[in-house]
Amino acid sequence: MVRAKKVLEVLHLIATGQYKEDNWSKVLDLIAQLFNADGSAIGRIEGNFVIYDKVSSSFKRLAPDYEPKKYRVPIFSKSLASALLSKRNYIIANDYQNSPFAVESWKRLGLKQLMMVFMGEGNALGILSVGNISKKRDFTRGDAKVLMDLAFIISVILEKERKIEDLSEIAFRDPLTGLFNRRYFERFLEMEVERARRGIFYKLSLLMMDIDDFKRLNDEFGHLCGDLVLMEIGRIIRQNLRRSDVACRYGGEEFAIILPFTTSMEAFVIGERLRRKIYENPISFKGKEIRVSVSVGASQYRPPESKEEFINRTDRALYRAKLEGKNKVVVEEKLVL
């Protein structure tokens, strides 16, 4: 029970993104504690090296010569990393004294290690590892199963960050709101739907949001005011989402928000928070305070439906929100818990 709570704590920290850009050490500290280990680390694969630039605060006990972003482990033919990448699974190394992969420094330390490769679109992105030098407990296959679940979720976050860095800002950003555009939404949702089909425990939800009476607002105050409203709503969305979420301008006055690791009920809470923030922050335009509201539809992905079916279900929930008086969040009726 204690371990299950610790796993949930790690998953929550990863999924909600409640850590700074350079502060993965909090996540990795929790992972080390989860396995009663001396340290843990994430290494990204670049060419023939594994670069360990995300480590727990205790990682120096395992690697005394560690320097941030400079700790590079070569992937040579008889290395542990090479064997791991060939298996594309995990390796438990409890006996480095008799291991063909161990270097002398590891043998001197009496290092024990559990390593897991994490994948993205069929390619190895990196390695998640935990290690011991002071504890006598060996790593087990049960440990490997838990680490596999963590590696899967970490791979989602790292793959998203890598893709965002690689994509052209001009091609995939809406210049008015600063959110991603429809093109990016279609691509990213396709990937997440495929991931949700494969992952039994992977929950994926979607919000569709539409500004209420936007045409009337444009007719009354002009398109300059309409643009200002879109910019302000984009700002509020950006400031009130988690690191793992992807917000897009879907078209005109409609927005779409992809919510990985999220049930429909959690999506409702996020949608309600955004709806309230938008309504409680009126727009100032030419000396007038203009209060704007949004209607929101929410739904959770149901395998094996297509991306289009998922969007349509969420859109129907949005339509219901409009019919029921606007300025509200409606969850698609058939809930998935």
Residues 6+ apart with CB under 8 A from 334: 302
Mean pLDDT by 10 residues, the chain (337 residues): 61 58 74 87 80 79 65 64 70 67 56 80 80 78 86 78 64 90 93 84 93 94 94 95 91 95 94 97 91 97 95 96 96 61
Asked if 327 contacts 275 with a C-beta cutoff of 8 angstroms, the reply is yes
Q: Where are the beta strands (DSSP E) in 178-268?
A: 204-211, 246-251, 254-260
> Buried b / exposed e across 71-84, counting CB within 10 Å, b at 16+?
bbbebeeebbbbbb
Asked if 294 contacts 274 with a C-beta cutoff of 8 angstroms, the reply is yes
Q: Tell whether 240 and 131 lie within a shared domain.
A: no
Instruction: Provide the 10 A C-beta neighbour count for residue 177.
Output: 21
In a domain, 336, yes or no: no
Q: Tell whether 212 and 270 lie within a shared domain.
A: yes
CATH number of the domain that residue 146 is part of: 3.30.450.40
DSSP-derived pairing of the beta strands 329-331 and 288-290: unpaired
Q: Tell whether 162 and 242 lie within a shared domain.
A: no
For 137-152, how does the pLDDT look when each residue is reduced to its tens digit (9 = 90+)?
Answer: 788 888 888 888 888 8
Instruction: Provide the 10 A C-beta neighbour count for residue 271.
Output: 27
Q: Tell whether 25 and 160 lie within a shared domain.
A: yes
Residues 6+ apart with CB under 8 A from 313: 299, 302, 305, 332
Last residue of a domain, one of 110, 143, 166: 166
Alpha-carbon dihedral of residues 15, 17, 19, 20, nearest 10 degrees? 140
The confidence score (pLDDT) of residue 21 equals: 47
DSSP 119-180: EETTEEEEEEEEEESS--PPP-HHHHHHHHHHHHHHHHHHHHHHHHHHS-HHHHB-TTTSSB
Q: Can you give the residue range of the structural domain that contains 95?
A: 2-166
Last residue of a domain, one of 135, 166, 197: 166
d(CA 327, CA 278): 10
DSSP-derived pairing of the beta strands 329-331 and 294-300: parallel
Catalytic residue among 121, 253, 280, 324: 253
For 191-238, how does the pLDDT look when each residue is reduced to its tens digit (9 = 90+)?
Answer: 899 888 887 678 999 999 999 999 999 999 999 999 999 999 999 999
Asked if 250 contacts 182 with a C-beta cutoff of 8 angstroms, the reply is yes
The confidence score (pLDDT) of residue 336 equals: 42
User: Known catalytic residue: 253?
Assistant: yes
Last residue of a domain, one of 166, 191, 207: 166
CATH number of the domain that residue 216 is part of: 3.30.70.270
Residue in 99, 128, 102 with CA at minimum distance from that of residue 116:
128
- What would you report as the CA-atom Rg of the chain, rounded to the nearest whole angstrom? 23
Q: What is the pTM (predicted TM-score) of this model?
A: 0.60
